[in-house]
A and B are shown apart, each in its own frame.
Chain A
């Protein structure tokens, strides 16, 4: 439970349309520093789009997002600077296949001139150790299992030292036996106090790790609350219906 109440992410009136299809229909969310928010909901509810609007991989159609002090509705906002504060982990890992694991992780720190090559290498090895893959530094992504790939992807995001982490269905593309190892890494990050927004289908994980659970459907936030409230005593019929199907 977060005791610090500074707003790390502030979303108000967020709308997003793709052509005539409105995917997000006005979202208002405040997320405090150190808070772990899990976003659940049926497919097509707009969870991933919401997440992608938080680091502006998708443009906002209306509303404001202020994340780690960057106002994304401001056209002059330095997106590259902002994204170094906001790490993102994708469902399909998106590792760079032409680089080794170590190069994947050290690319951004070196290119962004945050670290020398030697420093970046040391950081990368530390991060790999942290996600339990110290021996895979020189492997290519193609030689790794899904769970290993996702742990490398997390290490890669952490290499630029972000204040916030976004997880976009990070375990959805994994074989069941590999889900645990990735969730463990996310769990560790939560324990360290990282501010995180986690879009997930792992209800057990959300219940265990989240400070707050947001249930989305049809582009709106239907209900939010503590895991106990959402999973134990959902108020809205839409939430009850969804949970009855997935639990």
Chain B
């Protein structure tokens, strides 16, 4: 009964993918999209606005026990309740939230964003809701740096595109230091602790919160007077939302809720006692498993689609039609010739801008991964078919068998056997590539890990747990695949 090897091998892949999808569905019911409303829709009867925010900007926005919380979150929800509209929060990351706003993927952004003239060109801002300022911090153990003058010849770090970066650059010539930009606070603090930079320039409330959370830094200078934070909508869009925000803000300020929110996060911060590694493990596991299920779901869907694309374009590549070969070559060179990250940005931010059609993050992610993996699959299929001795085709054809029959019964069973290890390899690659989708706010495993260490600053331990989860899952799946390969491709 080895006649249907080709179909059996097909079943193998199907089975693996089905298994993955199942695992995804099983663990992650209701976790299909990263950016769910953090609050159940409130009782308010008004319109619902989608609000983008940062992932990692404590105390303005961060996750506590899996829920988004922080000054911005309390404010926007308070204002929404007060002004009679609903909000759906999308936790995207700062850069991504701004891009999403520009692409009309979200209606507004509240992300501890400084009101600057540059930003005013593309966004409309609310009344300022918080007066920020920049402060410098160094590693706790660092006694050499006590002021800007000690920075000469050193490198400092600031958040890309932030007021901190602007301030650091404004004094860098005077004090002769270099400024490097990173994407989020947790990474910057780690950079300082690791000694790659000697100091960090960050918004003072953020810094103060981090220091209070035992992030291993200390502030050594006074806060610089800085600009103010505002809520933003895309230029000319959603004026009624902006107006509602301003009205609500004024209301909260006058009734005392505003001050209560600030006090909750900034006044008398409670010292946090760090739990042990196993405490961290138990606390983070539910969120990480949610992420893992999304990772597996995206991998399963992507691999399945990639397989279809790979077989289709792979056959195009070995066909006698120059047009089909050309189509396939163009497809492969585009998706192999550009970085996966650029593709992900394009599908999530670029495509909606070009088409006016919004696209949810799971769709964009799966689209990216499947088209990318499909290009590699195409080459695997082409390589597999071409590595079968041409004499095999000649033997089949000389018996009077047609092209399709010869392919199906003679060439493909041998090609699939050759391709299977590469398929398994691609499968693992795609699983790992899902981690790149964290940048577009897809709440898979890596994203969940980032969320956790952004709030607790235990980067190393959290990443060890995340890596271990990837390691276990990938090795289990590889073992399973190899077992199936041995069984069906004898």
Contact = CB atoms under 8 A, between A and B. Distances in A.
Interface stretch (A13-21, A36-44, A92-100, A181-189): A92-100
Contacts of A160: 399-400
A94 B389 contact: yes
B417 interface: yes
Contact of A107 (B2, B5, B402, B409): B409
Given A80-B400, A96-B395, A111 B405 contact: yes
B32 to A, nearest CB: 41
Interface in B398-426: 398-402, 405, 409-410, 413-414, 417
B395 A111 contact: no
A96 B3 CA distance: 12
Contacts of A96: 392, 395-396, 410
Contacts of A200: none
B410 A80 contact: no
Interface string A75-111: 0000111111011101010111111000100011001
A182 to B, nearest CB: 17
Interface in A112-144: 112
Contacts of A111: 401, 405, 409
Contacts of B410: 96, 107
A156 interface: yes
B436 to A, nearest CB: 38
Contact of A87 (B2, B5, B398): B398
B394 interface: yes
Interface in B350-387: none
For chain A, give the interface size range.
20 to 34
A157 interface: yes
B405 A98 contact: no
Given A98-B413, A103-B3, A108 B399 contact: yes
A156 B402 CA distance: 16
B389 A83 contact: no
A94 B399 contact: no
Contacts of A108: 399-401
Contacts of A150: none
A98 B391 CA distance: 14
A227 B460 CA distance: 86
A90 B392 CA distance: 10
Contacts of B5: 98
A84 B399 CA distance: 6
B394 A57 contact: yes
Contacts of B397: 57, 79-80, 83
Contacts of A94: 389, 391-392, 394-395
A156 B410 CA distance: 14
Contacts of B394: 57, 90, 94
Contacts of A55: 398
A17 B99 CA distance: 60
A98 B2 contact: yes
A99 B400 contact: no
A240 to B, nearest CB: 35
Contacts of A153: 395
A108 B394 CA distance: 13
Given A90-B391, A94-B389, A112 B409 contact: no
Contacts of B409: 107, 111
A160 B417 CA distance: 28
A229 B409 CA distance: 46
A80 B3 contact: no
Interface in A17-66: 55, 57
Contacts of A98: 2, 5, 413-414, 417
Contact of B400 (A92, A95, A97, A112): A112
Nearest to A153: B395
A86 B399 CA distance: 8
A82 B394 CA distance: 14
Contacts of B401: 80, 107-108, 111-112
A103 B396 CA distance: 13
B391 A92 contact: yes
Q: Tell which of B5, B389, B395, B400 has the most Cβ of chain A within 10 Å.
A: B400
Given A84-B400, A108-B401, A112-B401, 18 more contacts: A57-B398, A84-B399, A87-B398, A87-B399, A88-B398, A92-B391, A94-B392, A95-B395, A96-B392, A96-B410, A103-B2, A103-B3, A107-B399, A107-B410, A108-B400, A156-B395, A157-B398, A157-B399
21 contacts: A57-B394, A57-B397, A57-B398, A80-B402, A83-B399, A84-B400, A87-B399, A90-B395, A94-B389, A94-B392, A96-B396, A97-B414, A98-B413, A98-B417, A107-B409, A111-B405, A111-B409, A112-B400, A156-B395, A157-B398, A160-B399
Interface of B: 2-3, 5, 389, 391-392, 394-402, 405, 409-410, 413-414, 417
List 3 tightest A-B contacts by C-beta distance, closest first.
A84-B400, A94-B395, A108-B399
